[in-house]
A = this chain, B = another copy of it.
Amino acid sequence: MTRAPATRRAGPAKRAAASAGPRAVRGTPDETRARLVAAAGAAFEHDGYFGTDTNRIARAAGYAPGTFYKHFADKAEIFVAVYEAWIAREWDGVQAIVADARTPAEKAARIADAVLEHHRAWPGLRASLRALVATEPAIRRAHRASRRTQMMHMAELGLDDAGKNAILLLTVERIADAIADGELRELGMSDEDARVRLVAVIEERLRGR
């Protein structure tokens, strides 16, 4: 996550800055939107939600500032889009694993690894998410909705104790964030230890406990 605005400015954004992005090819609205979401994801990851601005995102995607607002009502909205895409990718992975793996142990291990990798690759995005859920009503709403979707996914996976599912969800998320952020290492637990616990938590649940 951002942690620092890096180089905040390099002088007045002379005309130069205009050509920062990947040369926006005039395309369908969907392509434009997708490019903006991708650029925003990278920017949020790298500089944090409060470390970028919508102009920069638009430029990074190869568009002018105004274009951004043709596709998103505001900054929060694109964050939600980024987050939803992120979650969807995570669950795609989980579901593929569930379909493919045999034993609960294998499933748990592979799910844990997939989740961990996904979190480790996007620590900045996760941090911004945690920040924004508390701060931006719109993002909070989207986050809640996403939780509900995830609960449904879990039910579809045959896990039927909603209470346990909820705890699992929070626990996995929290541990994965902690590992990805290196919090546990600082608390004296090796990443491998932490991973083992994460696997255990998942496996326990998969076994219905």
Query: Interface of A with B (CB < 8 Å)?
Result: 1-7, 9, 11-13, 15, 29, 45-51, 69-74, 77, 123-124, 126-128, 130-137, 140, 144, 147-148, 151, 162-163, 165-167, 169-171, 174-175, 178, 181, 183-184, 186-189, 193, 197
Contacts and interface: CB of A to CB of B under 8 A. Distances in A.
A36 B72 CA distance: 28
A128 B1 CA distance: 10
Main secondary structure of the interface of A (DSSP, over half): helix
B140 A3 contact: yes
A126 to B, nearest CB: 8
Contacts of A45: 1
A150 to B, nearest CB: 9
Residue of A15, A49, A50, A167 most packed against chain B (CB within 10 A) = A167
A123 to B, nearest CB: 6
Contacts of A5: 50-51
A2 B74 CA distance: 19
B197 A167 contact: yes
